[in-house]
Amino acid sequence: MFLFFSKLNFVQVEVSTRCQLSCLMCPKSFFRWKAMDMSFEDFKKIPFSRFRYAHLQGWGEPLLNPELGEMIDFAKKSCKVSLTTNGLLLPEWKEEIAKLDLIAISIAGIDGQREVRKTKLEELSEKIETITSLKKRPKVVIATLMMKNTISELPMLVEFAKSIKADELIANNLDYIPSKDLVGYEVFSENPSEEYLRIIETAKKRAEELKINFVARPIKMEEALVCAENPIKNCFITVDCKISPCAYLHIPSEGDEITRFFKGEEIKVKKQYFGYAKEFQKAWKSKVYSDFRGVYERRLFEPHLPLPECCKSCYKAYSL
Neighbours of 119 (CB within 10 A): 18
Out of 9, 23, 94, 223, which residue is the one contacting ligand SF4 (CB under 6 A)? 23
AA identity, residue 171: A
To ligand SF4, the closest distance from the beta carbon of 208 in angstroms equals: 30
Out of 11, 51, 56, 60, which residue is the one contacting ligand SF4 (CB under 6 A)? 60
Q: Which is nearer to ligand SF4, 199 or 251 (CB)?
A: 251
The answer to whether residue 26 forms part of the interface with ligand SF4 (CB under 6 A) is yes
Q: Which is nearer to ligand SF4, 26 or 38 (CB)?
A: 26
Out of 15, 177, 227, 277, which residue is the one contacting ligand SF4 (CB under 6 A)? 227
The answer to whether residue 229 forms part of the interface with ligand SF4 (CB under 6 A) is yes
Out of 14, 37, 61, 153, which residue is the one contacting ligand SF4 (CB under 6 A)? 61
Exposed/middle/buried for residue 223 (C-beta within 10 Å: 0-12, 13-18, 19+):
middle
Out of 97, 316, 319, 320, which residue is the one contacting ligand SF4 (CB under 6 A)? 316
The answer to whether residue 178 forms part of the interface with ligand SF4 (CB under 6 A) is no
What is the separation of C-alpha 132 from the centre of its chain, rounded to a whole number of angstroms? 21
Query: How many residues in the shown chain lie near ligand SF4 by CB under 6 A?
Result: 21
Out of 246, 251, 277, 283, which residue is the one contacting ligand SF4 (CB under 6 A)? 246
Q: Which is nearer to ligand SF4, 197 or 225 (CB)?
A: 225
To ligand SF4, the closest distance from the beta carbon of 84 in angstroms equals: 8
To ligand SF4, the closest distance from the beta carbon of 261 in angstroms equals: 14
> What is the DSSP secondary-structure string of the chain?
--TTSPPEEEEEE--B---S---TT-GGGTS-B---B--HHHHTTS-GGGEEEEE--SSS-GGG-TTHHHHHHHHHTTSEEEEEE-STTTGGGHHHHTT-SEEEEE---SSHIIIII-S-HHHHHHHHHHHHT-SS--EEEEEEEEBTTTGGGHHHHHHHHHHTT-SEEEEEE-----SGGGTT-B--BSS--HHHHHHHHHHHHHHHHHT-EEEE---B----SS-TT-TTTEEEE-TTSBEES-GGG---BSSSEEEEEETTEEEEEE----SBGGGHHHHHHSHHHHHHHHHHHHHTT-TTSPPPGGGTT-GGGGT-
What is the crossing angle of helices 154-163 and 194-210, to 10°?
Answer: 20
Out of 65, 314, 319, 320, which residue is the one contacting ligand SF4 (CB under 6 A)? 314
The answer to whether residue 153 forms part of the interface with ligand SF4 (CB under 6 A) is no
The answer to whether residue 109 forms part of the interface with ligand SF4 (CB under 6 A) is no
Looking at 4-12, 71-79, 193-201, 242-250, which segment touches ligand SF4 (CB under 6 A)? Answer: 242-250
To ligand SF4, the closest distance from the beta carbon of 6 in angstroms equals: 20
Out of 12, 86, 238, 259, which residue is the one contacting ligand SF4 (CB under 6 A)? 86
Footprint on this chain of ligand SF4 (rule: CB under 6 A): 19, 21-23, 26, 28, 60-61, 86, 227, 229, 231, 245-246, 248-249, 310-311, 314, 316-317
